[in-house]
Amino acid sequence: GINAEYMGKFKVEPAGGMETDPSALASELAHKEDLMCRLRREFESNVELIDTEYTSQTYSMRCQLLADLNKQEALNRELLWLDLVESKRKQVGQYFAEEQDMVLERAEFCRPAREQFREAAKALESVSRDQLLEFRRWQSPPTAVEKTVGAYLLIKGEETNGDSWTTMKVQLTDAYWSSFLVARAARIDCESISEKVLEELEPFLADIECQPKALDQLAVACGNLCRWIHATAQLARLLAICRPRNLHPGLIILRNDRIQKELAVLSERILQNNAQLSLHSRSLERQKWALKNRYDQPMDRLHDAFVSTASQLSAAATASQ
C-alpha cells in the first residue's frame, strides 16, 4: 500500500562528458539536491503510512490488552485487601469489626491513589487561559477529546442528550473552569461513584488513544482533565474494594478462589495478546527494512551523482580563477 510512484519513475541520468560551465554545474547540483529531498520525503511519507496502518490494525488488540491489565491490577489489589482483612481478623480475634479495625489499613491501602488524585486536581488548577482556549477551539473535536469529555460528564452524572461537546463547552469558559470545575473536581466524593459508573468508564480507561500523554498532544487542558478522570476512577475503585463488607471467612475463601480463576484466564489472554502484538511488531519492522532497502539503492546512486557534480563544480570554479 505504499506510494512508490516517484521512486518508480526516478532515474539517475548517466554521466556525459565533463561539464565545465560553473553555472550549468550549479544548476545541475541544485537539481540533484531537489531530487534527493523529494525521494527522502516520499520515503518518510511511506514510513508514516506503514506506521498508521500498524496502529489501525492493532488498535483493538492494544485496547483489549490494556483492559486486561487494568482488570488484572484491580483483582490483585482485591486479593491484597482480602489478605489484609484476614490477617487483622486473626490478630483481633472474635470481636473483629472490619469498619473500626481496618481504618489505618484502609487509609494506607488508598494513600498512593489519593496522592495521585490530589496531583491530578492540581494539574487542572494549573491550566492557563491559553491552554483553555486551545481546549475549546474545536467546533467538532477529535474523537479522543469527545470521549474524554463524555467520561468527565459521566462521573459528574450530567445528561448530555447525545452531545457531550455542546454540554462541555459551557464548562470550558474561563470563569466556569476556575470558579466551579476545578473546585468541584478537587472535592468530589470518590466513594459516591457507583459501580455502574465505574463499569461504564472501563472502555475509556482502556482506550490507548484516551491516555493523558496522548491527549496532551491535542490540548494540555484536555490531557489534564484525562489525568483527573483516570486518578478519580482509580481511587474510586480502591475505595470500593476496601469498603467494609464484614464477609465471613468462608466467603472470603470463595472470593479468593474466584479471583484466582479470573486471574488465570486473564494471564493466558494477556500472554496470547502480547504474542500477537509481537508478531505484528516484527512484521512492521520487516516492512520498514524492506522499504529502506528499496529507497537506499536510488538514493545511493543519486548521492554519488551529487558528489560527482559537486566535485566538477569545485574543479570548474578553481579553473576559472
Q: What is the 3-state secondary structure (H, E, C) of the chain?
A: CCCCHHHHHCCCCCCCCCCCCHHHHHHHHHHHHHHHHHHHHHHHHHHHHHHHHHHHHHHHHHHHHHHHHHHHHHHHHHHHHHHHHHHHHHHHCCCCCHHHHCHHHHHHHHHHHHHHHHHHHHHHHCCCHHHHHHHCCCCCCCHHHHHHHHHHHHHHCCCCCCCHHHHHHHHHCHHHHHHHHHHHHHHCCHHHCCHHHHHHHHHHHCCHHHCHHHHHCCCHHHHHHHHHHHHHHHHHHHHHHCCCCCCCHHHHHHHHHHHHHHHHHHHHHHHHHHHHHHHHHHHHHHHHHHHHHHHHHHHHHHHHHHHHHHHHHHHHHHHHC
Specify the pLDDT at position 151: 94
Distance CA(255)–CA(249), nearest Å, equals 10
Specify the pLDDT at position 294: 86
Distance CA(277)–CA(271), nearest Å, equals 10
Q: Which single residue is written with the C-alpha cell 466513594?
A: 191
- pTM here is 0.82
Specify the pLDDT at position 170: 83
Cβ atoms of 70 and 62 closer than 8 Å: no
CB neighbourhood size of 137 (10 A): 10
Specify the pLDDT at position 268: 97
Residue 313, C-alpha cell as written in the block: 563544480
pLDDT per residue rounded down to tens, the chain (321 residues): 545 554 554 454 544 455 567 788 888 888 888 888 888 888 899 999 999 999 999 999 999 999 999 999 999 999 999 999 999 999 999 899 999 999 999 999 999 999 999 999 999 999 999 999 999 999 899 999 999 999 999 998 887 677 788 888 888 888 888 888 899 999 999 999 999 999 999 999 999 999 999 999 999 999 999 999 999 999 999 999 999 988 888 999 999 999 999 999 999 999 999 999 999 999 999 999 998 888 888 888 888 888 888 888 888 777 776
List phi, psi (to 5°) of 95: -95, 15
Chain centroid, CA 52 distance in Å: 15
